[in-house]
Amino acid sequence: MENKTDLSISIGTDIEEISRIENAIKRSESFAKKCFLDSEIDYCRSKNNSGKHFAVRFCAKEAFAKAVGKSCRWHDVEIKNNELGKPEIILHGKAKEEFFGCKMDISMSHSRTYATSTVVIVWK
């Protein structure tokens, strides 16, 4: 993303079939390790039907990349629920440096078969 001097807003959204992410994780543990931090893996595996939790976090990371207009290292973007259960984007590494000061909001949802996420970023 080029430097912004005026306030601007960008949005990214993604939708995935839950079974696609579940199958990728079942086929290869390295897929989970590549896409998710240990804290995210632990969280998802602590839930019944962990596949939908993995899928919606995968969507959130993809939606973030679409909102910023470029790919990011998977482990630089963490999706974590706050104490009230609301999902938040926690940035690490280069992404934390590059997008410091941006206000981000995220919405995540899933049905039995699909997961979706939308990310809105306010650039300063």
CATH tag for 8-123 (out of 3.30.365.10, 1.10.150.170, 3.90.470.20, 3.80.10.10)? 3.90.470.20
E-assigned strand segments in 28-102:
77-81, 87-91
Each residue's pLDDT tens digit, 61-75: 999 999 999 989 999
pLDDT at 5: 58
State pTM to two decimals. 0.90
- Token pair of 106 as six digits: 């995220």
pLDDT at 2: 55
> What are the sequence ranges of the domains in the chain?
8-123
pLDDT at 23: 97
pLDDT at 17: 98
Single-letter residue type at 5:
T
Nearest to 40 by CA among 76, 2, 68, 11: 76
pLDDT at 29: 87
What are the catalytic residues?
66, 110
Low-confidence ranges of the chain (pLDDT < 70): 1-6
